[in-house]
Amino acid sequence: MPIDKRQSSRSKQSKSRTIVDLLLISGVNNVRECLASPHANVLQLIVKKGFDLEQLGRIPKEIKQVWLSEQDPRCDEIHQGIGCQLPVPNWGDYQTFIENLVKHKKDPVVVILDQVEDPNNLGQILRTSDGAGVDAVLVPGRRSAPLTSAAAQTSQGAFAWVPFFNVGNLRQALDFLKNNGFWLYACENDAASKLWSESDLCGPVTVIFGSEGRGIRQLTLQSCDHTLHLPMAGKINSLNVSASVSAVLFEIVRQRQKS
* 151-201 pLDDT tens trace: 999 999 999 999 999 999 999 999 999 999 999 999 988 767 898 888 899
Q: What percent of the chain has pLDDT over 70?
A: 92
For 161, the domain range is 94-258
- One domain for residues 74 and 165: no
pLDDT at 10: 39
Instruction: Report helix, strand and coil shares of the chain as percent, to nearest 5.
Output: 40, 20, 40
> Which of 32, 82, 25, 85 has its CA nearest to residue 57?
32
- One domain for residues 150 and 184: yes
The answer to whether 32 touches 58, Cβ cutoff 8 Å, is no
Phi, psi at 189, each rounded to 5°: -90, 90
- The CATH number assigned to the domain holding 81 equals 3.30.1330.30
pLDDT at 13: 39
* Nearest-angstrom CA–CA distance, 220 and 208: 9
Strand partners, 136: 110
- The CATH number assigned to the domain holding 134 equals 3.40.1280.10
At position 43, the amino acid (one-letter code) is: L
pLDDT band at 234 (very low <50, low <70, confident <90, very high): confident
* Choice between 119 and 191, residue whose per-residue pLDDT is larger: 119
Considering 26, 54, 87, which residue would you say is the last residue of a domain? 87
pLDDT band at 98 (very low <50, low <70, confident <90, very high): very high
| Average pLDDT rounded to a whole number, residues 85-92 | 96
- One domain for residues 194 and 76: no
- One domain for residues 31 and 117: no
- One domain for residues 129 and 65: no
Considering 70, 87, 104, which residue would you say is the last residue of a domain? 87
Considering 57, 87, 117, which residue would you say is the last residue of a domain? 87
- One domain for residues 139 and 101: yes
- Fill in the DSSP letter of residue 18: H
pLDDT at 152: 96
* Nearest-angstrom CA–CA distance, 88 and 237: 36
Number of domains composing the chain: 2
The answer to whether 126 touches 164, Cβ cutoff 8 Å, is yes
- One domain for residues 33 and 159: no
* 128-138 pLDDT tens trace: 999 999 999 99
Give all strands of the β-sheet with 64-68 in edge-to-edge order.
Answer: 22-26, 82-87, 44-48, 64-68
- One domain for residues 156 and 74: no
Q: What percent of the chain has pLDDT over 90?
A: 73
State the helix-helix crossing angle for 170-179 and 94-104, rounded to 10 degrees: 20
Least confident interval from 18-27, 109-118, 172-181, 197-206: 18-27
* 214-227 pLDDT tens trace: 789 999 999 999 99
| Average pLDDT rounded to a whole number, residues 60-69 | 94
* Choice between 235 and 47, residue whose per-residue pLDDT is larger: 47
- Kindly report the pTM of this predicted structure: 0.88
pLDDT band at 16 (very low <50, low <70, confident <90, very high): very low
- One domain for residues 247 and 138: yes
pLDDT at 221: 92
Between the alpha carbon of residue 96 and those of residues 100, 108, 247, the distances in Å are 6, 15, 29
Length of the chain: 259
- One domain for residues 135 and 252: yes
Query: Where does residue 5 rank: exposed (0-12), middle (13-18), buried (19+ CB within 10 A)?
Result: exposed
- One domain for residues 12 and 62: yes
3-state secondary structure of 227: strand
pLDDT at 232: 82
Residue 83 has pLDDT above 60, yes or no: yes
- One domain for residues 64 and 187: no
